[in-house]
A and B are shown apart, each in its own frame.
Chain A
Amino acid sequence: MESTAEAKYAAFEEKVKRTIFVDNLSPQVTETVLAKALNQFGTVVSASLIPNYLETGNILCALVEMEDSEKANKVISSITEFPFLIAGMPRPVRARFAEVEMFDDRPVKPGRRVRCSWLDPSDPDFEVAKKLKRLTRKHAAEASFLLKQQLDREEKLHKQQVENLKANFKKYEMIVGVLSDKTVQSLAGHYGMRVSDDL
């Protein structure tokens, strides 16, 4: 009993080592898409999206298990080195090694026993527990604030880029407009010059 649990846990730890945590995924990404996308770097054993209970945001993250930890490492370095876009989304994906806590189906660590009990308000531990609870909430709040800031910045950058893009696109349209109604060509004809569309 004990030994199987340990073996199971050891296997799980191995799994953790060859698993990468992929962050900043676009909501369109599915597990298959993800698996395929990473399959070009190495065999993907499994890919699973991590449900996000805290945030209702549109950023997904996922755990992708590779064949071995070396591959996992290489995938991470590939993704880090080059902006890696999955599903053509404007957001480059981030990747790092998975950690034990990221698995919701992780086996119990052998030898560790979790016991739950209600605390009486008069219990001296009650305050401690409350404090921890508060701290957790505070951290969550801080994290979400941070995330919001980050997203705001991203949004701002995004807007800026969109604006640039639109401006550039407008330029392009203008040029194409004047080319396609042959104004340029006929003017060139008048000037007796040969214009070429090729650089």
Chain B
Amino acid sequence: MASSDDEADVGPQSVSNYYFVDDEDAPTSFSVLPLQWSKSESVNEKKKQQMFLHGSVDNGLQTIHKEVTAWKFDLLNEIPDISVLTKENNWIKLEKPRKSFEEIIRTVLITVHCLHFARRNPEASGKSVWDHLCKVFSLYDVRPSLNDLVDHMALISEAVRRDDWLAKSKFLLAFLEEKPRKRKLSDEDVKATTVSAFIVDNVDDDILEDAVEDESDEVDELFDSVCAICDNGGALLCCEGSCMRSFHPTRLDGEESNCDTLGFTRREVDAIERFLCKNCEYNQHQCFACGELGYSNKSSGAEVFRCANATCGHFYHSHCIAKLLHQEDEVAVGELEKKVATGESFTCPIHKCYICKKGENKKIKELQFAVCRRCPTSYHRKCLPKEIVFEKKEEEEEEEEEEGKGGGGGGEEEEEETAAARAWEGLLPNRVLIYCLKHEIIDDLGTPSRDIRFPNVEEKKKKRILELPGSSGKLLPKKRRLTSEDSFSAKTVAKELNGSYSGVTKIASIKRSEKISSGSDLLRKVKTNDAFRKSLKENTKSCSTDVDRSATTTINKTSLGDRLYRVMTKRSEQVKLQKQVLHSSELNKTMTVKTSARKLSNELPSLDAETEKRILALIKEAASSITMDDVKKKHKVPSTHAYSSKTVVDKTITTGKVEGAVEAVRTALRKLEDGCSTEDAKAVCEPEVLNQVFKWKNKLRVYLAPFLYGMRYTSFGRHFTKVEKLKEIVNVLHWYVQDGDMVVDFCCGANDFSCLMKKKLEETGKKCSYKNYDVFQPKNDFNFEKRDWMTVQPDELPKRGSQLIMGLNPPFGVKAALANKFIDKALEFKPKLLILIVPPETERLDKKRTPYDLVWEDDQFLSGKSFYLPGSVDENDKQMEQWNVTAPLLYLWSRPDWSVKHKAIAQKHDHLFMRRGGSNLEKSCHDSKSPDHPVEVHCCNPGTSEVTDDLYMESKEPNHEIALIGGRKECSPHENGDKESQDSHGLERNRSEETSRKTKHIEDKIGRGTGEKLPKNKWKGGKPSGSDTNKEVPHRSPTNVVDGRTSQEGPPSRSLETPMHTKVGENSLPNLESGMPSSHLPYGTAYGGSMSYVHEDVGSKYSMNGMEYSHGIHGFPHANLEEQSTGNMREIAEDIGYRSYVTGLERGSDMRSQVRFYGQDVDYSVQRNYLGGLEPGYGQMGPLSSIPYGHVGAAVESSYRMNMPAMQRYAPRLDELNHTRMNNFGSDPSMLNRNNIIYDSRAPRPGPPGGHVDSMGFAPGPQYPYPHSSAGWLNE
């Protein structure tokens, strides 16, 4: 079998950082080279393809560039050696590949390692083999798997045949016995499955996994994921245009199905940002009926028209489609033709079954379509003619796993010579891919003739297609049989097919695989001669020498080539070589350059062409040495941001698809309105499309966030809790800390928390240790470790969980996704206490797998300006402060076995009281305020036209309340005594009832009357958080509520609106000053907002504030767009938003409430704007009447954004709390986004998963008459 070096030591012995390229400069695996099995058996086969080895030798001191002709491996040593034979007959051992090249040779490396291991451990089971391989290839992104071996079945079987030791390996024998086929997966799937198969030893992967899975379930369930040319899956490039097609971009990708492909090189593909196929580029599309190209530009004399279906993307001549749709009726044909020609939309026959003329229903298998890829014909599965044969049953299974239907099709043929397979499962999503009986299947393609035409290359293409079958058709079937008997994988089959296409048909009939491949080598060589010459020339050019063409030709080509190669690889020699090559004329030229350079004036000398070229060459070289992978490696992304949705957004959500979908939705609705049947509408726009639209929107929204809100984020998008706030937290927390505990801050930010804790604890005589983690360097190094929290393992901390106290402020993420991750990670350590600042939508710890008990929570503590943006300044060079529109909560969670103790502490030190202090104060001024609230709520209802949604909402919220009250009631005996338990009881109760409540909210609504009574007494029980006050206020006037509801159902009444608004506007000003709890206003304001929303639908465009830069770091915010979207808002913002809250601030006297109102003002100003809109006479707001709510909202933000250039991710967070919560709310299926705007207020927190106290902030107001028994706990 393999041998050691048999050549004299000429040249380098080993090479590292290597990679191989073929004559097209595309990276290739050396495994396509012939394999030399033993010394004696020299490689006498002709190579099919030129291949060059690049790499560094002499420990990286030199680089080489050599043509290689063969490879071999040696399994005898400790680790397997792989060597390649250079053209000079010199074996070079391969050390470590270049990182970016690993992926390309992974299969062969894994195979060789597998052989190596199997040889040494013949008894080894499959599991130990894979364990070993996973260890060896631990750095690979994707775990080694059977798929990697499948590619090299031939190699393995040959190795087993030749090596007795290997022949003993149970694993290999079993493997060969099995004859596994490669799983058929599109590339997204591959990612998802392989990643999810990961051993979760690395959190990065874990997170990535989530992200990827998240992606893949979304990835185009609706659109074809097969190549438009060859109808096979694999790595595809999606056209951005309206054709919605995908193509195999490179020859390699299309190899197995003999796809013509787009003929790009891998590098070209990578460089393409937005691919537009030639058809879409030139607006010339093929008619799917007649196949002719026609102009499709609707604005200038279109000949072909696109089917209106959202996912179709086929074009038709008006007469073709008319004929298709009305086959007999000539009058109708004429009419339709005219209509279509004038732009009327139509749906092509694909969307109705050819037999029964009914539409598709993807949810029912029998009603799924089988769609012909060559003409507009579809059948239901149940209607599919018998003649259209599927592949045989056993094959069908593997069809899904098999990479190519090309190979599978071949397999089919051999067993059933009579009928070629015409139908395939698993290629189209929820559909069957067929070729209907009109099309003759060409044997060696496995498909009918492929007639995709592009505008300018059509002639050439067509010819090629015609030629292909003729040249090698006859011999192919035989060969196929052979190969499949040899149990080759689909892929190798495909490869060989390809080889034979190039003409090696005779050799192809030889049985042994290596001979076949060598055969194909032969003919490759013919081609390569040219290619070689070509590459020579290119090299000459690229060398930046000014060598004259004529000079080049006079010099012997090869020798020049060799020299030039050296030039390429060795920069140091370049100049010298240049000189050698340079002719006297060139020398003269440089001389003149020099002389001219002498006459330098004071200006900067313009560079001569020579120098410029030299610099350009340098740039080019430097650029080529940087690969994306290198950059990615260098910039470690925090694990929480490891995934970017860029590719999805760019490549999957194509403009064409979006356009198509949007158009289709419109068309479908129009059709319905015109009285068409739902069936017809569905033919235009499947219900799934609607879901897709929402999904797209969310994806895009998240992706675009930094651009829409660009200026507000610098650096790393953090927000830090203010030191004053931290001090307060520390003051509370230190009671719970015991001597010897360890305080861990998993996202320490400025690292103040630990320092403050230390100070405080030392004051109180407790000695503790501290540990602080963050991915960013803090200003203060106190016990800091620069680590990604997700990578910290529990055993790394010196203390056990019962001595751990963890906190504090994790990054939030979209819908608290990041916060949840951080918390989950923290829970792995089983800390006895967790102190958390997290958004309300964070999953509560009592809902975790290992539930924690809530000691206390506070939703008011962090409202207002509790945060600041590190590294950012406002226009006065002051540190920017920050508030959250919806304040995050401060929680203290306890491990269950410590709960009793901690709760005792909480009680002892009256932490519950402390937390409410602020709100009690505020309470006192309620009485005067409360009348406003019903009014506000009231006025909102007419404004929102989504009657049903609102109803739903409204009725849901009160139910919450009821449930909670129920919980309270039970606890009430304890009254103030045991608030914690009360709290949690109530909450749990609330939770448990939540589901049932949701379903029967209507009934609940009816039963509201009783529900309303319930709370009265119970409120006294002491709602633990300050937000109660809010709830109580509106209780007063139940009748109004009812009014509100009824008016909701009716048409919006203006007369109601205006006065109320004024009222709200005016009244709430005093509210501000007198220190009303924050959540009051937002009710009104939010509703106001929603009203304006109704007026201006545009508003929703801007309602996307609530997004997170999940890919923040990847983002490259661009000012232009930002300007475009927010430009006009800024002015407004300056005028109103900013100023108005500045004044609000000034007015406040009580620090605490002031802080709160500050945040509130955002909404407030919005409302004012709106008021202005309604009543032009209303102060200076008048001119703004046309500003939609969202707009203003954004403007308000942009106002501070403007002033503080270095705004941050967390600024969006402010309104994000707002808006994302809206989104959460949206999870309630009937809840649409714009309704959520209604919730766009800070205090009410209707987080769906929460169902916690705060979630009732909003609704209970109107629902429950509450006779101000607030005194009940004012006294407390």
Contact in complex: B649, A180 (CB < 8 Å) = no
Contact in complex: A42, B777 (CB < 8 Å) = yes
Contact in complex: B604, A169 (CB < 8 Å) = no
CB-CB under 8 A for A167 and B1205, given A145-B612, A183-B669, A193-B690: no
**Interface on A for B, CB 8 Å cutoff?**
28, 32-33, 36-43, 74-75, 77-78, 80-90, 133-134, 137-138, 140-142, 144-146, 149-150, 158, 160-188, 190-191, 193-199
Contact in complex: A191, B1206 (CB < 8 Å) = no
The 10 closest A-B pairs by CB, nearest first: A198-B1227, A40-B870, A197-B1226, A198-B1226, A87-B1205, A40-B871, A194-B1229, A37-B871, A180-B1100, A32-B877
Contact in complex: A81, B636 (CB < 8 Å) = yes
CB-CB under 8 A for A41 and B777, given A165-B1118, A197-B1232: yes
B352 to chain A, nearest CB (A): 17
A173 to chain B, nearest CB (A): 7
A17 to chain B, nearest CB (A): 18
- Judge if B190 is at the interface, Cβ distance under 8 Å: no
- Chain B 638-656 interface mask (CB, 8 Å, partner A; 1/0): 0000000000011001010
Q: Which of A137, A165, A177, A188 lies in contact with B1121, CB distance below 8 A?
A: A165
CB-CB under 8 A for A171 and B695, given A141-B604, A186-B669, A198-B1226: no
Contact in complex: A188, B690 (CB < 8 Å) = yes
Contact in complex: A142, B1224 (CB < 8 Å) = no
Contact in complex: B691, A178 (CB < 8 Å) = no
- Judge if B243 is at the interface, Cβ distance under 8 Å: no
Q: Which residue from chain B places its CB closest to the CB of A144 in the assembled complex? A: B604
CB-CB under 8 A for A176 and B681, given A87-B714, A162-B1120: no
Contact in complex: A32, B690 (CB < 8 Å) = no
Contact in complex: A172, B701 (CB < 8 Å) = yes
Q: Which residue from chain A places its CB closest to the CB of B1097 in the assembled complex? A: A180
- Judge if B908 is at the interface, Cβ distance under 8 Å: no
Q: Which of A84, A85, A196 lies in contact with B1117, CB distance below 8 A?
A: A85
* In the bound complex, CA of A179 to CA of B696 (Å): 11
Q: Which residue from chain B places its CB closest to the CB of A178 in the assembled complex? A: B662
Residues of A within 8 Å of B604, CB to CB, are 137, 140-141, 144
- Judge if B273 is at the interface, Cβ distance under 8 Å: yes
Residues of A within 8 Å of B1070, CB to CB, are none
* In the bound complex, CA of A41 to CA of B604 (Å): 40
Residues of A within 8 Å of B711, CB to CB, are 88
Residues of B within 8 Å of A160, CB to CB, are 273
Contact in complex: B669, A171 (CB < 8 Å) = no
B936 to chain A, nearest CB (A): 25
**Interface on B for A, CB 8 Å cutoff?**
218, 240, 273-274, 597-598, 600, 604-607, 611-612, 615-616, 619, 634-637, 649-650, 653, 655, 658-659, 662, 665-666, 668-669, 672, 678, 681-682, 685, 687, 690-691, 693-698, 700-701, 703-704, 707, 710-716, 718, 750, 775-779, 870-873, 877, 879, 1097-1101, 1104, 1113, 1116-1121, 1125, 1205-1207, 1223-1234, 1236
Contact in complex: A175, B696 (CB < 8 Å) = yes
A157 to chain B, nearest CB (A): 9
* In the bound complex, CA of A197 to CA of B274 (Å): 27
Contact in complex: B615, A162 (CB < 8 Å) = no
Residues of B within 8 Å of A182, CB to CB, are 1097
Q: Which residue from chain A places its CB closest to the CB of B1098 in the assembled complex? A: A180
Residues of B within 8 Å of A141, CB to CB, are 604-607
Contact in complex: A164, B650 (CB < 8 Å) = yes
Contact in complex: B687, A188 (CB < 8 Å) = yes
Q: Which residue from chain A places its CB closest to the CB of B657 in the assembled complex? A: A171
CB-CB under 8 A for A83 and B1113, given A141-B607, A191-B690: yes
Contact in complex: A33, B685 (CB < 8 Å) = no
CB-CB under 8 A for A86 and B715, given A169-B707, A190-B678: yes
Contact in complex: B714, A88 (CB < 8 Å) = yes
Q: Which of B662, B700, B750, B1100 lies in contact with A168, CB distance below 8 A?
A: B700
Residues of B within 8 Å of A193, CB to CB, are 687, 690
Contact in complex: A145, B1097 (CB < 8 Å) = no
Q: Which of B682, B775, B1234 lies in contact with A180, CB distance below 8 A?
A: B1234
Residues of A within 8 Å of B779, CB to CB, are 39-43
Contact in complex: A90, B597 (CB < 8 Å) = no
Q: Which residue from chain A places its CB closest to the CB of B696 in the assembled complex? A: A175
A139 to chain B, nearest CB (A): 10
CB-CB under 8 A for A171 and B636, given A82-B716, A138-B597, A161-B1116: no
Contact in complex: B1118, A90 (CB < 8 Å) = yes
Q: A82-B776, A134-B605, A197-B1231 are in contact. List 4 more A-B contacts (CB 8 A).
A: A40-B871, A138-B607, A183-B669, A199-B695
Contact in complex: B240, A167 (CB < 8 Å) = yes
Contact in complex: A172, B700 (CB < 8 Å) = yes
CB-CB under 8 A for A195 and B694, given A40-B750, A165-B1118: yes
CB-CB under 8 A for A183 and B750, given A81-B635, A175-B693: no
Determine which residue in B616, B750, B1101 has the highest number of CB atoms from chain A within 10 A of its CB, and name it: B1101
Residues of A within 8 Å of B1231, CB to CB, are 196-197
Residues of B within 8 Å of A89, CB to CB, are 1119
B653 to chain A, nearest CB (A): 6
A192 to chain B, nearest CB (A): 8
Q: Which of A28, A75, A83, A142 lies in contact with B1205, CB distance below 8 A?
A: A28
* In the bound complex, CA of A84 to CA of B258 (Å): 47
Q: Which residue from chain A places its CB closest to the CB of B1248 in the assembled complex? A: A198
Determine which residue in B649, B707, B714 has the highest number of CB atoms from chain A within 10 A of its CB, and name it: B714
Q: Which of B606, B672, B704 lies in contact with A169, CB distance below 8 A?
A: B704
Q: List 11 A-B contacts (CB under 8 A).
A: A40-B871, A137-B605, A142-B607, A158-B1118, A166-B1121, A168-B653, A177-B662, A187-B669, A187-B672, A187-B690, A196-B1229
CB-CB under 8 A for A169 and B636, given A141-B605, A145-B612, A197-B1223: no
Determine which residue in A179, A182, A188, A199 has the highest number of CB atoms from chain B within 10 A of its CB, and name it: A199
Contact in complex: B687, A191 (CB < 8 Å) = yes
Contact in complex: B777, A36 (CB < 8 Å) = no
Residues of A within 8 Å of B678, CB to CB, are 190-191
Q: Which of A84, A167, A171, A176 lies in contact with B1101, CB distance below 8 A?
A: A176
Contact in complex: B690, A37 (CB < 8 Å) = no
* In the bound complex, CA of A130 to CA of B471 (Å): 72
Residues of B within 8 Å of A168, CB to CB, are 649-650, 653, 700, 703-704
Residues of A within 8 Å of B716, CB to CB, are 82, 84
* In the bound complex, CA of A198 to CA of B702 (Å): 12
CB-CB under 8 A for A184 and B665, given A37-B1206, A81-B635, A196-B1229: yes
Contact in complex: A172, B697 (CB < 8 Å) = yes
Residues of A within 8 Å of B1225, CB to CB, are 198
Q: Which residue from chain A places its CB closest to the CB of B711 in the assembled complex? A: A88
* In the bound complex, CA of A34 to CA of B551 (Å): 56
CB-CB under 8 A for A33 and B690, given A38-B871, A168-B649: no
* In the bound complex, CA of A33 to CA of B662 (Å): 44
CB-CB under 8 A for A40 and B715, given A142-B607, A175-B696, A190-B678: yes
* In the bound complex, CA of A180 to CA of B945 (Å): 13
Contact in complex: A196, B715 (CB < 8 Å) = no
Residues of A within 8 Å of B607, CB to CB, are 138, 141-142, 145
* In the bound complex, CA of A40 to CA of B720 (Å): 10
B1205 to chain A, nearest CB (A): 4
* In the bound complex, CA of A86 to CA of B712 (Å): 11
B706 to chain A, nearest CB (A): 9
A190 to chain B, nearest CB (A): 5
* In the bound complex, CA of A168 to CA of B658 (Å): 10
Q: Which of A80, A86, A145 lies in contact with B615, CB distance below 8 A?
A: A145
Contact in complex: B685, A37 (CB < 8 Å) = no
Residues of B within 8 Å of A194, CB to CB, are 1229-1230
Contact in complex: A32, B873 (CB < 8 Å) = yes
Residues of A within 8 Å of B672, CB to CB, are 187, 190
Q: Which of B665, B682, B701, B704 lies in contact with A178, CB distance below 8 A?
A: B665
Contact in complex: B605, A172 (CB < 8 Å) = no
Q: Which of B687, B713, B1205 lies in contact with A33, CB distance below 8 A?
A: B1205
Q: Which residue from chain B places its CB closest to the CB of A73 in the assembled complex? A: B777
B1054 to chain A, nearest CB (A): 21
